Amino acid sequence: MSPSGVRRQWEVVPSDIAQKTHNPLRNVVENLRLEPNPEKSMIALSIGDPTVFGNLKPPVEVIEAMQESLLSIRYNGYAPSTGHQEAREAVARYSSSAAVTVHSQDVVLCSGCSCALDLAITVLANPGQNILVPRPGFPLYRTLAESLGIHVKSYNLRPERGWEVDTMHLEQQIDASTAALVVSNPSNPCGSVYSRQHLRDILQVARAKFVPVIADEIYEHMVFPGQTFHPLASVSDDVPILACSGITKRFLVPGWRMGWITIHDRHGIFETAGVRAGLQRLSQRILGSNTLVQGALASIFTRTPEKFFQDTIMTLQCHANIAYDMLKGAKGLTPLMPKGAMYMMVGINMAEFPDFASELNFVEQMVTEESVFCLPSKCFDYTNYMRLVLTVPEEQLREACHRITAFCKRYHRPEDADSHKGNTDVVETCTSNCSAALRESRDLIVPKDASISP
């Protein structure tokens, strides 16, 4: 601008907030040289959208609920910015159990779980304050916080203990400027599912340091047989919690953009602070979430057959077993068996792959030679791992694991002579014995296409 304050030319620049907004995952991936081998079909084990391969579909009941919502012509107008009362009541019922009661006034509907996390972070933290996030962890927490000038500090997870939180490290990271602690359970990228006792231990730290918790529970209930999902709120007597979830992953409809926050505030700490009113005000920035999905929500929850959830879990678990069994035979790799969600972390013993400076080069070269892409753990602020998605069709997953195994065999250099022993060639074998279960689950997930089309 000229001294007189009158512009002589266009001076449009993107705002600070736009310039401070970065997606760490995009940044990492865009800097990789990804040139697949033209001789081999590309298999992307990187995509966190369960619908892209076409093998996993929402149940017919959910599609019908959306049709009815649309045809009713009742959901074309604006809803209250926190959502229609009936939809909030539906979420309250869905989120309540013997251990937690959620009331509809404690539900804020959002445009996906991402938006729920955005509101939760924004309502609790000021620019200059910090939030604590897990490492390795979902990169969105950082994207959302840093664009608002909120700092991000990481607390470590412990792979050798099923990716439990290092509570000592967590406690050390908390300072006077810590506005919230983000807990991810079940975890993306780790596939970990925390026990009640471990959740109690985490809450104990939050309680001692008076830090409210944001629980990212978008994978709630998506746990393998024998595991139990405990909502963080069901374990907390007093620590105030904003729980974030949605229908995205469990109902296999990421594009529908329906998520929510449930406020858990038994001692009125949030209420006294005006957090509920703050969420209400923030929700007015985008005037609420998609009303057609709101109109369908009650039916989606009540009509989806239990069998649909079991089938999805069965498929994910069988895929986990296949990937685990195949990759535990690959030289230099250590797959870690998940307990839930849709991912598996695979450790790469970089010392045994001297050709590569880091896991970034490793995954890059695997694309070049094998046309298989797994996300490097740098995307999750971690090193020496890659993350596989378990939602790809079984045949592609097997093929990918074969190629990964062959790739490792080609580049593996034992650290010393001793590590030669016990190295058998397992490229061709998969010891997984879940094929019967898989056959069954494949029968179960045969799409009822005819009934889906309108």
Ligand X SMILES: *Cc1c(COP(=O)(O)O)cnc(C)c1O
Interface with ligand X (CB under 6 A): 48, 112-114, 138, 184, 188, 216, 218, 246, 248-249, 254, 259
CA atoms within a 13 Å half-sphere pointing along the CA-CB vector of 306: 0
Shortest Å distance, C-beta 226 to ligand X = 22
Q: How far apart are CA 360 and CA 432, in angstroms?
A: 29
Shortest Å distance, C-beta 342 to ligand X = 8
Q: In the complex with ligand X, which residue's Cβ is closer, 164 or 325?
A: 164
Shortest Å distance, C-beta 369 to ligand X = 29
Question: By the 8 A CB rule, do 260 and 244 touch?
Answer: yes
Strand partners, 214: 182, 242
**Sign of the Cα pseudo-torsion (266, 270, 273, 277, in order):** negative
Strands (E), 380-424: 385-389
Q: In the complex with ligand X, which residue's Cβ is closer, 21 or 419?
A: 21
Q: Are strands 130-135 and 372-373 parallel, antiparallel or unpaired?
A: unpaired
Strand partners, 405: none
Q: In the complex with ligand X, which residue's Cβ is closer, 117 or 408?
A: 117
Q: How far apart are CA 403 and CA 327, in angstroms?
A: 10
First vs last Cα of the chain: how many Å apart?
58
Shortest Å distance, C-beta 218 to ligand X = 4
Q: In the complex with ligand X, which residue's Cβ is closer, 184 or 405?
A: 184
Q: How far apart are CA 56 and CA 327, in angstroms?
A: 24
Shortest Å distance, C-beta 246 to ligand X = 4
Q: In the complex with ligand X, which residue's Cβ is closer, 317 or 391?
A: 391
Distance of CA 317 to the CA centre of its chain: 17
Question: By the 8 A CB rule, do 102 and 262 touch?
Answer: yes
Strands (E), 211-369: 213-216, 241-246, 259-264, 333-336, 343-348
Shortest Å distance, C-beta 137 to ligand X = 8
Q: In the complex with ligand X, which residue's Cβ is closer, 95 or 248?
A: 248
Shortest Å distance, C-beta 251 to ligand X = 10
Q: How far apart are CA 364 and CA 372, in angstroms?
A: 9
Q: In the complex with ligand X, which residue's Cβ is closer, 227 or 419?
A: 227
* Residue number closest to ligand X, CB atom: 112
